[in-house]
């Protein structure tokens, strides 16, 4: 035991968080609250910093998703994270384990990885995470006539921004976030031109949701280049599309089924839609020559549904 008045040296203490917030914890503390591997106490200031990081470094996130994360994570204030034994307490504080609370805590761990020197602690917490809860499967696939009905409704509305959003979804089978990113950044992305269509190297990677290349008929590409309006935020443009007849997710399902009917290989469709989560961008390039040929095969059918 140290004599009264003795101030222990830094060899007996541990700096837990590097940055504007850090906690010094003695090695002799409780193994539950202050593990030897280092602990992090979640404070209001840390949660506020997480909120700023979400908006600053995650431009692809929808406003609804940001609100969802900031609904769950503030409930963790006061908890100390030391290791796998704390994961259960995390979800109890969040009101239970569900898909939304799981995604919120996972994003919080990503924040810690990127802003703090806590790789070992984050690795322990990630390893202890339960399986991500799944939402109820939605097996409905819209008919061609339903998609054409959306086309007619958008044409009648005269909404140019919504027309572009619809055309990109129908041309690519991509996610709504990726469609909006493409529209907003078309002048900054690398384009490879073919006779009737273009290949766009979008190179977006968001966890298991990847999109490396997207294909557009030249008419749609020209619309994007000439567009001078302003696209609404993700939530509102998706609401407008739903009001026209279908939610974004159903275009993705319809596109997949359309390609299957045209004889496109299932793995190629997975690559088109960015579902190839087991390989990196370097190996994805092996697919590109195949996708180039596949898109030529489907182009005339896709054009039947576009607003040109």
pLDDT at residue 190, rounded to an integer: 94
Q: Is residue 106 part of a domain?
A: yes
The answer on 252 and 111 residing in a single domain is no
In this structure, the answer to whether residues 264 and 181 fall within a common structural domain is: yes
| DSSP one-letter string for 72-119 | HGGGGTT-EE-SGGGHHHHHHHTTS--HHHHHHHHHHHHHHHHHSS-H
pLDDT at 18: 39
Q: What is the pLDDT of residue 270?
A: 85
The pTM of this model reads 0.63
Q: Is residue 262 part of a domain?
A: yes
Asked if the structure places residue 171 within a domain, the reply is yes
Residues 75 and 219 in one domain: no
Co-location of 119 and 153 in the same domain: no
Are 124 and 148 in the same domain?
Answer: no
The answer as to whether 136 is a domain residue is no
Q: 25 in helix, strand or coil?
A: strand
Domain coverage including residue 76: 10-128
Task: Please tell me the predicted confidence (pLDDT) of residue 36.
Answer: 41
pLDDT of residue 30: 34
User: Do 252 and 293 share a domain, yes or no?
Assistant: yes
Are 82 and 197 members of one domain? no
150 with 278, same domain? yes
Predicted confidence at residue 35, as pLDDT, reads 37
Angle subtended by helix axes 160-172 and 176-185, to nearest 10? 120
Q: Is 182 inside any structural domain?
A: yes
* Whole-number pLDDT of residue 5: 40
* 49 in a structural domain: yes
Q: Does 34 reside within a domain?
A: yes
Angle at 110 between CA 106 and CA 115, to 5 degrees: 145
24 with 111, same domain?
yes
What's the structural domain count of the chain? 2
Whether 135 is covered by a domain: the verdict is: no
Same domain, 22 and 101: yes
Give me the residues of the chain with pLDDT under 70, please.
1-37, 136, 206-210, 276-283
Q: What is the spatial distance between Cα 129 and Cα 256, in angstroms, rounded to a whole number? A: 32
């Amino acid at each position: 035991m140290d004599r009264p008045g003795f101030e222990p040296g830094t060899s007996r203490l541990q700096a837990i968080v590097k940055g504007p917030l850090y906690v010094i914890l003695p090695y002799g503390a409780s193994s539950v609250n202050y593990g030897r591997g280092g602990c992090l106490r979640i404070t209001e200031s840390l949660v506020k910093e997480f909120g700023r990081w979400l908006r600053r470094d995650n431009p692809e996130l929808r406003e609804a998703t940001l609100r969802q994360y900031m609904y769950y994570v503030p409930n963790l204030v006061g908890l100390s994270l030391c290791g796998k034994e704390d994961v259960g307490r995390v979800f109890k504080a969040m009101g239970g384990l569900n898909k939304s609370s799981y995604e919120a805590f996972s994003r919080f761990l990503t924040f810690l990885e990127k802003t703090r020197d806590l790789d070992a602690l984050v690795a322990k917490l990630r390893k202890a995470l339960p399986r991500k809860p799944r939402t109820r499967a939605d097996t409905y696939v819209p008919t061609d006539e339903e998609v054409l009905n959306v086309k007619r409704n958008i044409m009648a509305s005269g909404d140019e921004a919504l027309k572009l959003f619809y055309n990109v979804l129908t041309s690519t089978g991509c996610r709504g976030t990726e469609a909006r990113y493409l529209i907003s950044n078309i002048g900054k992305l690398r384009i490879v031109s073919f006779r009737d269509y273009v290949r766009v190297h979008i190179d977006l990677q968001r966890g298991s949701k990847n999109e490396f290349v997207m294909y557009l008929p030249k008419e749609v590409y020209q619309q994007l280049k000439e567009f001078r309006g302003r696209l609404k935020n993700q939530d509102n443009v998706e609401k407008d599309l739903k009001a026209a007849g279908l939610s974004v997710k159903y275009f993705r399902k319809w596109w997949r089924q359309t390609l299957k009917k045209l004889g496109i290989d299932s793995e190629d469709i997975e690559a088109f839609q960015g579902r190839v989560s087991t390989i990196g961008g370097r190996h994805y390039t092996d697919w590109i020559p195949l996708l180039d040929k596949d898109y030529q095969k489907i182009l005339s059918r896709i054009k039947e549904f576009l607003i040109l």
